[in-house]
Amino acid sequence: ATMPPLLSAIANAGRHGVLVKSAVVMERLGAVTKVALDKTGTLTAGAPRVTDIRVLPGTELTEDEVLALAASAEHPSEHPLARAVVVAARERGLPLESARDFAAAPGRGVRAVVAGRVVQVGSPDRLLADADADSRTGEASRTGEAFRAVVAVADDHARTAVLVVVDGTPSALLRLADLPRPGAAEAVAGLRELTGSAPVLLTGDTPSAAAHLAAETGIEDVRAGLLPQDKVAAVREWEARGERVLVVGDGVNDAPALAAAHSGIAMGRSGSDLTLETADAVVVRDELATVPAVVALSRRARRVVV
């Protein structure tokens, strides 16, 4: 007997390096009309590197001291940016200290107590918003001004910026470079052709870093500065207009959007456990080109079934 078309499509997807979790999923993938891609770890290789460290005025810490504190706070995190900060500290031979009270906020950053100091590492925009929310006394609003100056600098560049705050003082700005995945532009073009609509970039990163990557990968529609719930809202908005959205993501921050979308694909290598569980399909071979390939397989199987 020959295999039913959807099952043979699943087998085929497996040969392409994509694990599709069920025949229902295999069938749904061919019906997508719009694709939303995450940036870090999805369109990019997800292995960013720290390219420069700027210690900010008003800090008494040295570059190495701030980096060691940041890396110690980031050590428990599985985020690609966190790994980059840890690697940068290791390369300088800096000793990491254990972090207490570690907390990670998806799309924002991390916070931990290291050597008795409260260390926050994360999105300059988000840290500014938090500082604003806290500012009641005159002293706090001076902190707010310092943050604002930092954020203006942070957004002036194509590269991702991460702010390190030590005991409430903005102490250093790290810049990270993250290259597009090989084949990202081709995958974007393939998805555009298959769905007849322009793929969208959804990211928690700053607008300038997002725009830079979008230009490199042929994406025209960019939504930046998003929290996990904002990614969900974007998906719901499109689906309410009758689109069937495919979300491709990797981070814990993408799990809610993957769950909300018509279809969700996770990048396996960089993917967090929660994301791999939530997704309908997982790219195990770490190539973005497999995403349009699987949509095309589903289309073909559907034509046979119908």
3-state secondary structure string across 129-166: HHHHHHCCCHHHHHHHHHHHHHHHHHCCCCCEEEEEEE
Binding-site member from 109, 256, 271, 292 for ligand ADP (CB under 6 A): 109
250 binds Mg ion (CB under 5 A): yes
**CB under 5 to 8 A by kind: which of ligand ADP, Mg ion, none does 110 bind?**
ligand ADP
The burial class, CB within 10 Å (0-12 / 13-18 / 19+), for 242 is exposed
Binding-site member from 48, 204, 264, 271 for ligand ADP (CB under 6 A): 204
Of 14 and 225, which has the nearer Cβ to ligand ADP? Answer: 225
79 binds ligand ADP (CB under 6 A): yes
77 binds ligand ADP (CB under 6 A): yes
38 binds ligand ADP (CB under 6 A): yes
- 221 catalytic, yes or no? no
**CB under 5 to 8 A by kind: which of Mg ion, ligand ADP, none does 143 bind?**
none
Running DSSP on this structure, what letter comes out for residue 242?
A: T
Structural contact between residues 269 and 276, judged by C-beta atoms closer than 8 angstroms:
no
Running DSSP on this structure, what letter comes out for residue 252?
A: G
Of 38 and 287, which has the nearer Cβ to Mg ion? Answer: 38
- The tokens describing 254, both together, are 């993408």
Using the rule CB under 5 A, give the single segment among 40-48, 135-143, 207-215, 284-292 that binds Mg ion: 40-48
Which position's Cβ is nearest ligand ADP? 204
Residue at token pair 């994301």: 275
Within 8 A by CB and 6+ apart from 237, the residues are none
**CB under 5 to 8 A by kind: which of Mg ion, ligand ADP, none does 122 bind?**
ligand ADP
How many DSSP H helices and E strands does the chain contain? 12, 13
Q: 3-state DSSP call for residue 48?
A: coil
**CB under 5 to 8 A by kind: which of Mg ion, ligand ADP, none does 82 bind?**
ligand ADP
* DSSP line for 68-127: HHHHHHHTT---HHHHHHHHHHHHTTPPP--EEEEEEETTTEEEEEETTEEEEEE-HHHH
The burial class, CB within 10 Å (0-12 / 13-18 / 19+), for 59 is middle
Of 204 and 256, which has the nearer Cβ to ligand ADP? Answer: 204
Binding-site member from 120, 171, 195, 253 for ligand ADP (CB under 6 A): 253
- Which x/- pattern over 11-30 shows residues binding ligand ADP (rule: CB under 6 A)? --------------------
Residues 115-174 binding ligand ADP (CB under 6 A) are 121-123, 160, 162
Shortest gap between Cβ of 44 and Mg ion (angstroms)? 8
Q: How far lies 213's CA from each of 27, 44, 118, 151, 224, in Å?
A: 31, 8, 33, 20, 11
* DSSP line for 49-63: EEEEEEEPTT----H
110 binds ligand ADP (CB under 6 A): yes
Shortest gap between Cβ of 20 and ligand ADP (angstroms)? 23
Judged by the rule CB under 5 A, the positions of this chain that interact with Mg ion are 38, 40-41, 250-251
Judged by the rule CB under 6 A, the positions of this chain that interact with ligand ADP are 38-41, 74, 77, 79, 81-82, 107-110, 121-123, 160, 162, 203-205, 251, 253
Residues marked active site are found at 38
